[in-house]
Amino acid sequence: MAQCEQVVTLVDGVISRMRALEAALPARDGVAVFNRVYLAVTEAVDRHLDAGGFPDARAAITLDVRFAERYLAAVDTVREGRPPPACWRPLFQFRHHPDVRPVQFALAGINAHIGHDLALAVVDTCRTLACEPVDLEDEFDGVGELLLSLEERIREELTPGPELLRITDPLIHLLGAWSLERARDAAWTAARALWALRGLPEIAGEFTERLDTAVGFAGRMLLTPLPG
């Protein structure tokens, strides 16, 4: 019981940190846009946990916390004047660009967090709980379903209405080129590959570096400035 209470406290700590960021950052800051989205996701996961929606609450909480810690570590890294992982670099570089729209900031952050951080968070969780990725599949899928349910809402809330968009608007084509569901599936494959490579640290490190770079490249494309 004490151990379960301890991990619940960690979730509360993660939510508190994101709420503090929300209060501290200007609303139009690209990191603030993503932070609001991620805070909503984390609060939804917390409510799902309270409702008994995960088969293994301890595993779900551990995955949720390890996942969030990677985003918060990137924030801390930038605050300390050091470069963040490549996957996060575009968001921090373009966070104040006037021609990048809010929905682009949100999806670039989700791209970095799902495309890179989620796979590593699965591996972190397996090490913490001394289990295999397959043991976390239900929890991974549960978190993924919550993310998918929120993605449509995110696009609706942050994308200009049809009266402001034309079929030729490049934003339509940019947003259509990225899929959270595909990113989630790729993250699960990457997590399994990294776990299989855990006894080969040099190769695992190279795989992680290439993953970081590739996700960063996709994030840079999502943040293409779109004047007007």
- What's the whole-number mean pLDDT along residues 73-91? 97
Res 32: pLDDT: 97
- Per the prediction, the chain carries an average pLDDT of 87
pLDDT digits (tens, 9 = 90+) for 28-76: 999 999 999 899 889 988 898 888 888 898 999 999 999 999 999 999 9
* Structure tokens, 128: 């913490």
Mean pLDDT of 142-159: 74
CA-to-CA separations, 45 to 68, 118, 147, 198, in angstroms, rounded: 12, 15, 9, 29
Predicted pLDDT of residue 10: 81
Query: Which residues are CB-neighbours of 130 under 8 A, at least 6 positions away?
Result: none
Find, among 109, 101, 133, 100, the residue nearest to 42 by Cα. Answer: 109
* Cβ contacts of 149 within 8 Å, gap of 6 or more: none
Region 176-190: mean pLDDT is 87
- The backbone torsions φ and ψ at residue 25, rounded to the nearest 5 degrees and listed phi first, read -95, 145
Q: How many CB atoms lie within 10 A of CB 45?
A: 25
Higher pLDDT, 45 or 123: 123
Is pLDDT of 172 > 90? no
User: Among candidates 206, 211, 209, which has minimal Cα distance to 186?
Assistant: 211
- Supply the pLDDT for residue 123: 97
Distance CA 95, CA 8 (A): 32
Q: How confident is the model at residue 83 (pLDDT cuts 50, 70, 90)?
A: very high
CB 57, CB 136: distance < 8 Å: no
Between 117 and 152, the higher pLDDT residue: 117
pLDDT score for 23: 96
- How many residues in the chain? 228
- Residue 168 pLDDT > 50: no
Q: What is the pLDDT of residues 196-222, one digit of tens each?
A: 999 999 999 999 999 999 999 999 999
Band (pLDDT 50/70/90 cuts) for residue 166 is very low
Q: Which two tokens stand for residue 165?
A: 């968009």
